[in-house]
Amino acid sequence: MTRSIAAAAARRFFRTTTALASIAFLAGPAVAAEEFNALVWCDHTDPALIEPFEKANDVKVNLKEYEGTGAGISILEQSRPGDWDVMVIDAVDVHRVIEMGLLGEMPADALPSADLFPELRMEANNTKDGKTYAVTEKFGYNTISYDKTKVDPKDMEDLTVIWSDKYKGRIALYDYYLPMIGLVQLGLGGKTADLSEADMPAIEEKLAAMKAASKQVSDVVSSQTALATGEVDILVGGGEWITASLAKDKPDLDWVVPKQGAVRWAQSIAVMKDSSKPELALKFVQYILSPEGQARLATSSCYWGMPANMKAGEHLAPEQKLALRWDDQTGYLKNTQLYPVPSAELDQKMQDAWTNMMQQ
C-alpha cells in the first residue's frame, strides 16, 4: 500500500510538473488545434479524466493544480485577465471570486442542474442575482476515517471521541482549519453556518484537547500514509476521499459520519469572465458534469469523492459505489453541513486558533 501511495504521489508529481511545464511553454508549438488553461484541484489532473475530452475535441487542456482557496486567489491576483479559462474552487468560496469580478455567467439551461443531488445544487453559493457563475461537480465529507481492526467502529459514531483520551497517540488530525473547526462546532452541538467569534473559546479548548490526544497534524499525503501504514488508527477530518481509493488494498480502512454529523465539502467549477475561449470552457464544464465525466472525476487517482450528478452511478462499478457509500448518501446529506464561511476577521481568528493548537 505504501508503494501504491508513493506511486500515486510520484504520478501526481509527474502530472503537476507536466502541467506546469505546459503552461510555462504556452507560446510554444501546439499539437492540438486549440488549448485552454484550467486552474484546478489535483483530481482534475488525472489523464483518465482529461484525455477523453482532449481527444473528442482536439484540444490541449493546460492544467495548473492548487490547494486551498487562499492559494487559488493568490494565483488569480498574480495572473493577467484571460490567463485562465476554467477554475475549480471550493463551493463555499465561489462568491469570493464573483466579488473579484473574475467569473463569467454560464447559461443555466446548458447545465444539468436537475440531475444533481438537490443538496448539491447550492444556488446560494453558485449563483448571484439569478445568474449562474459556477456549478457543483463533486463533494464528500470531512469526518472520521479509521482502521476498523484497531478501533471499535461504534466509538467512531460519536464525534466527541476526537477529543477524548481513549485513542490517545493514535489519532492524526487533517491539517485544514476550516473543516476541522467545523467538526468541533458540530461536536459541541452547534451549526457550521452559525459559527461566530463567540464560539471560538470553546472550540479552542477542544482543539487543545484534540492536539493532546493526537500523534500528528498532517496534510493529505502524510495523513493517508499514516493511516495506511498503521502509524495512526484514526484520521479526524478524513472521509471517503482518504480511504475509498485505498479500499482495494486496505479493506480494513473505513469511514463514517458520526451521529452529530460531519462537515460536507463541495467543489464547484466555473468559467472565467475573461476567458478567450468561453465556448470551449463551457464545453469542458459540460463534460465534467456529464455522467461519464462525473464517474471519472469521482474516482480520480488523486482522491475520490462523490459525484454531484446522480446519473454518474450508472458509470460506477459496484465496488466503487461501496467504497463511496453511494447507498448511504441520502442519510449522509441530511446529517452533514457545509464548511463554515467566516468573515475575514473570523477567518483570521480561526487560523490563529489552528496555529496556536499546532504550537502547543
Partner 1 sequence: MTTATLEDRERRRAWGFVAPALIWTFAFFVVPFLYMAAMSLWSRQGREIVRVWNLDNYARFFTESALLKSLTNSLEITLTVTVLSVLLAYPLAWIIAERVPKRWQRMALILAILPFWTSYVVRSYSWLLVLSKGGVINQALLGIGLISEPLEIASNRTATVIGFVHFFVMLLTLTIYSNLIQLSPNYRRAAADLGANGFQTFWHVVLPLTLPGIMTGAFLTFVLCIGDYITPQILGGNNELVLPQIIMLQIGRRADFPMAAALSIILMLAVTAAYLLCARWLKIERA
Contact residues toward partner 1 (CB under 8 A) are 2, 6, 9, 67-68, 70-71, 73-74, 77, 96, 169, 175, 177, 215-219, 222, 225-226, 229-231, 343-345, 348, 351-352, 355-356, 358-359
* Shortest Å, Cβ 216 to partner 1: 3
Rounded to 5 degrees, φ, ψ at 88 are -105, 135
CB closer to partner 1, 179 vs 313: 179
Residues facing 87 on adjacent strands: 39, 270
* Shortest Å, Cβ 9 to partner 1: 8
- Per the CB < 8 A criterion, the answer to whether 161 and 167 are in contact is yes
CB closer to partner 1, 13 vs 25: 13
Helices (H), 25-122: 47-57, 69-77, 94-99, 118-121
CB closer to partner 1, 65 vs 240: 65
* Shortest Å, Cβ 149 to partner 1: 14
* Shortest Å, Cβ 321 to partner 1: 31
Angle at 117 between CA 111 and CA 123, to 5 degrees: 60
CB closer to partner 1, 79 vs 216: 216
CB closer to partner 1, 59 vs 234: 234
> Cα separation of 36 and 42, whole Å?
17
Residue environment code for 51-68, b if the CB has 16+ CB neighbours within 10 A, otherwise e: eebbeebebbbbbbbbee
Q: Which residues contact 267 (CB under 8 A, 6 or more apart)?
A: 41, 88, 89, 90, 91, 136, 137, 138, 139, 305
> 116, 74, 109: which is closest to 91 by C-alpha?
116
* Shortest Å, Cβ 341 to partner 1: 13
> Cα separation of 295 and 276, whole Å?
28
> Cα separation of 218 and 114, whole Å?
38
* Shortest Å, Cβ 298 to partner 1: 27
- Per the CB < 8 A criterion, the answer to whether 244 and 319 are in contact is no
* Shortest Å, Cβ 320 to partner 1: 28
Please provide the DSSP assignment of 157-222 as one string. GSGGGGGSSTTTTSEEEES-HHHHHHHHHHHTT--GGG--GGGHHHHHHHHHHHHHHEEEEE-HHH
CB closer to partner 1, 2 vs 276: 2
> 176, 136, 179, 183: which is closest to 161 by C-alpha?
183
* Shortest Å, Cβ 217 to partner 1: 4
CB closer to partner 1, 96 vs 191: 96
- Per the CB < 8 A criterion, the answer to whether 239 and 255 are in contact is yes
CB closer to partner 1, 308 vs 353: 353
* Shortest Å, Cβ 218 to partner 1: 6
CB closer to partner 1, 78 vs 114: 78
